[in-house]
């Protein structure tokens, strides 16, 4: 395992090019993780839906069963997960396996199996130590720019995912989950995380406008490191990823990033910096939880 002291850690975000062919993506991810480890990373992150196209009509055909935390991978049915487990173990690193379409159980008898957008996290021993099903599905309509409806083919998850490392506790969300400060706040205040990791795939409309702003906002309002890993932009793909994988520190500063081409983004995270910022600006002690209980969330379908 690459050197990771008790407090600091080198993180690598593998901004890989994703193509239509699953086996090619699996092999490419394995090779990028190896390169990340060769650069000294102890925590390696892959992008959202890294084993196939980001396309609601294709998720089901790329989907694989995902075991529960601590469970064994069915290597024949889940070649992507088998690679993640083996690669984490081979290199002795924590591996946040981007996300894959997860083949779940049918919601009712006779229904099609539910498909989730699921992030798996692997320990240096190759064990599945956390699993996050995307909680907020990416359904947006910006006329003339982008319309996307994950809920056409995906089911939302509802659990929190976090895992312990020698350098601190790490929480996980996926892409659109970033837009919901409540999830990050739960990871910080309920799960006690100092690092949040988001595999994500923003696009060329919302990416330039919101990606960095959201990452820096989540870092600042929770006083945590935020690491977000995108696929590279593939000109041949139907969905044009924004790229710009990024690490933000608890002060809200961007400490490492890139453009939209394939790259490995590396950053040293000095995790005790989170505690230092929390002492300097003690918002978690000053927060007026007594005043926020009556928020009435507005929107269609809500009273
Ligand atoms: O929130 C956005 O603008 C992009 C979200 C997205 O691409 C996703 O959730 O996969």
- Residue closest by Cα to atom 4 of ligand 1: 202
* SS3 label, residue 227: strand
Residue nearest ligand 1's atom 9 by CA: 176
ipTM of the complex: 0.98
Atom index in ligand 1 nearest the CA of residue 210 equals: 3
Q: Is 239 a pocket residue for ligand 1 (Cβ < 6 Å)?
A: no
Superfamily of domain 9-281, CATH level 4: Carbon-nitrogen hydrolase (3.60.110.10)
- CA-to-CA distance for 206 and 41, rounded, in angstroms? 30
Classify each residue of 35-69 as buried b or exposed e, where b means 16 or more C-beta atoms within 10 Å of its C-beta. Answer: ebbeeebbbbbbbbbbbbbbbbebbeebbbebeee
What pLDDT, on the 0 to 100 scale, is given for residue 295?
Answer: 78
Task: State the closest ligand 1 atom to the C-alpha of 117, by its place in the atom list counted from 1.
Answer: 10
DSSP secondary structure string for all residues of 50-118: TTS---TTTHHHH-B--PPTTPPP-TTT-HHHHHHHHHHHHHT-EEE---EEEEEEESSTTSPEEEEEE
DSSP class of residue 203 equals B
- From the alpha carbon of 138, which atom of ligand 1 is closest? 9
Whose CA is closest to 181, among 266, 292, 34?
A: 292
The catalytic site residues sit at: 48, 134, 175
The 10 Å Cβ neighbour count of residue 189 is 13
pLDDT, residue 2, reads 46
Global pTM?
Answer: 0.96
d(CA 230, CA 213): 15
For ligand 1, mutation pick of 203, 240, 241 (most atoms within 8 Å of CB): 203
Instruction: Give distance in angstroms: CA of 201 to centre of ligand 1.
Output: 6
Rounded CA separation 135/116 (Å): 9
Measured by CA distance, the residue closest to atom 3 of ligand 1 is: 206
162 lines ligand 1 (CB under 6 A): no
CB neighbourhood size of 182 (10 A): 11
Residue with tokens 């002291």: 5
Identify the pLDDT of residue 302: 65
- pLDDT (0 to 100) of residue 120: 98
Going residue by residue through the chain, which has 303 residues, state the pLDDT in tens, using 9 for 90 and above.
Answer: 444 456 889 999 999 999 999 999 999 999 999 999 999 999 999 999 999 999 999 999 999 999 999 999 999 999 999 999 999 999 999 999 999 999 999 988 989 999 999 999 999 999 999 999 999 999 999 999 999 999 999 999 999 999 999 999 999 999 999 999 999 999 999 999 999 999 999 999 999 999 999 999 999 999 999 999 999 999 999 999 999 999 999 999 999 999 999 999 999 999 999 999 999 999 999 999 889 887 778 876 664
Looking at residue 297, its pLDDT comes to 80
């Amino acid at each position: 395992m690459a050197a990771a002291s008790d407090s600091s850690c080198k993180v690598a975000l593998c901004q890989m090019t994703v193509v239509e062919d699953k086996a090619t993506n699996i092999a490419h991810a394995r090779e990028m993780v190896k390169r990340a480890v060769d650069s000294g990373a102890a925590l390696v992150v892959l992008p959202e839906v890294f084993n196939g196209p980001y396309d609601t009509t294709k998720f089901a055909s790329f989907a694989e069963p995902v075991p529960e935390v601590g469970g064994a991978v069915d290597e024949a049915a889940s070649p992507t997960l088998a690679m993640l487990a083996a690669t984490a173990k081979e290199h002795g690193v924590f591996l946040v396996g981007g996300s894959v379409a997860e083949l779940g159980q049918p919601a009712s008898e006779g229904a099609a199996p539910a498909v989730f957008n699921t992030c798996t996290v692997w320990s240096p021993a190759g064990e599945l130590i956390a699993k996050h099903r995307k909680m907020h599905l990416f359904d947006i309509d910006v006329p003339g720019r982008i319309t996307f409806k994950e809920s056409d083919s995906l089911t939302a998850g509802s659990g929190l995912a976090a895992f312990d490392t020698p350098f601190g506790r790490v929480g996980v969300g996926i892409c659109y989950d970033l837009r919901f400060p409540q999830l990050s706040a739960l990871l910080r205040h309920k799960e006690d995380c100092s690092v949040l990791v988001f595999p994500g795939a923003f696009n060329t409309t919302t990416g330039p406008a919101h990606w960095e702003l959201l990452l820096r906002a989540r870092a600042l309002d929770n006083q945590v490191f935020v690491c977000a890993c995108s696929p590279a932009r593939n000109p041949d793909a139907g969905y044009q990823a924004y790229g710009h994988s990024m690490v933000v520190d608890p002060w809200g500063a961007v400490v490492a990033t890139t453009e939209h081409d394939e790259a490995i983004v590396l950053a040293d995270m000095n995790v005790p910096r989170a505690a230092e910022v929390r002492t300097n600006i003690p918002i978690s002690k000053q927060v007026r939880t007594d005043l926020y209980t009556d928020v009435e969330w507005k929107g269609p379908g809500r009273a």
